[in-house]
Amino acid sequence: MTPRISSKVKTDFQVFVKPVGDLCNMACHYCYYSSGGAVSDSARRMPDNILETYICQHIHAHPGPVVRFSWHGGEPTLLGIDFFKKAVGFQKKYQPAGVLIQNGIQTNGTLLDETWCRFFKKEGFSVGLSLDGPEHLHNRYRTTKSGKGTHSRVMLGQQLLQKNQIPYDILCVVHHHNVDHPLDVYRFFKKIGAVYIGFLPVVNSLMDSVDPEKYGTFLCSIFDEWKAYDIGRIKVQMFEEVSAKAMGQDHALCIFRKACGEIPVVEINGDVYPCDHFVRPAFKLGNLNTTPLGKLMNLKTMREFGKNKKTGLASQCKSCEVLAFCNGGCPKDRILHIPGSTMKLNHLCRGYKRFFNHCLPFVEQLQKLLLRQQQEDKPVRTGRNSPCLCGSGKKFKRCCMTQ
């Protein structure tokens, strides 16, 4: 039976789909997915009928010519390649003419082998690889269920991705230990040939979160090294956000947008929630079996969830000099009580302030370059070896990049 067709959503959106639920072959100490074994392992597999329903509805609800699927977990590779071959088959079944479908998968990398890589290469998958830096830092928290470090297994996966020329990015969780070693972490990623890096700070009200000021220093230290040596060679997600803002572009990273509600999560049984960090009964939007994805995305409750990010800003945020850069950060990180107020501050506030203020001279220089480009109708080239657009005749790295 053909699944019910979704109505179109007006704006671009992304979905985190968790076909294996929270099932994982690792036991990372900071993981917020663990359910404590409340669901049997045999039940943690998205049934074929829900998989087909989701794929059909996602394709027909998406407004643009490029539909992106983001496969998450737990550890999605536990499902095996045949599951994803089936998913790709459903995508091709419902793919309209003129629409491009892209797939990305987030993995801990420990199960990757040549067979997986051949599949990724053939079907054009991109890969997000979880890696927390060099061995002694990665193994502090990213362990097997028996407590053994996983670094060597992850590195084998990384090397296979690189060997097979599969596009991948590094997702590095910033925790109590690696936060004190920013350059060790960054230089390790450079050494292994990473070209796109994202940093995800641990913020969890149920455990000790990363120190915000240390996190700010962590980002500043890496930013200075990147600015001096790696502009145009390596993309760091946080620095891309800074550059985008300087160029007058919207934030790509959801935590820095003015509103939420564009990255819902689809759970193993077809339940839909507005965000991966708000998978709780009070926030459930509905189920794909009874209400198509497009309709769920257009619900008033979904729109209100998105707007609450802005309306829930504390007064301190509204007058902050870096508000345009962070927009209060992710609502799930707003855990700091404010005396005499029902609003809460983002745990990372001090770190964000430190980092974004540190970047302001760079932002201002990029804005000058953009203005000059507009006046002279020249493309903005900010690679470190490009001629500086200020007209000095020097290379960018020897001129305005250092200001």
Active site residues: 276
Assess contact for 91 and 101: CB atoms under 8 A: yes
Question: Rounded to an integer, what is the distance from CA 23 to the centroid of its chain?
Answer: 20
Using CA atoms of 222, 224, 227, 233 in order, give the dihedral in degrees to the nearest 10: -20
Burial zone of 316 (CB within 10 Å; 0-12 exposed, 13-18 middle, 19+ buried) = middle
Burial zone of 224 (CB within 10 Å; 0-12 exposed, 13-18 middle, 19+ buried) = middle
- What is the Cα Rg of the chain in Å? 22
DSSP string, 205-232: TTSPPPPHHHHHHHHHHHHHHHHHHTTT
DSSP string, 11-66: S----EE-TTTT--SB--TT-S---TT-S-GGG-S--HHHHHHHHHHHHHH--SSE
Cβ neighbours of 263 (radius 10 Å): 15
Between strands 66-71 and 100-107, the pairing is parallel
Distance CA(320)–CA(327), nearest Å, equals 10
Backbone angles phi, psi at 109, to 5 degrees: 80, -5
Distance CA(307)–CA(207), nearest Å, equals 28
Contacts 24+ apart (CB under 8 A), 65-69: 65/98, 65/99, 65/100, 66/99, 66/100, 66/101, 66/102, 67/99, 67/100, 67/101, 67/102, 68/14, 68/101, 68/102, 68/103, 68/104, 69/15, 69/17, 69/101, 69/102, 69/103, 69/104
Alpha helices in 269-348 (DSSP H): 293-297, 300-311, 315-318, 323-326
Question: CA distances (Å), 229 to each of 63, 359, 387, 389, in order?
Answer: 39, 16, 16, 19
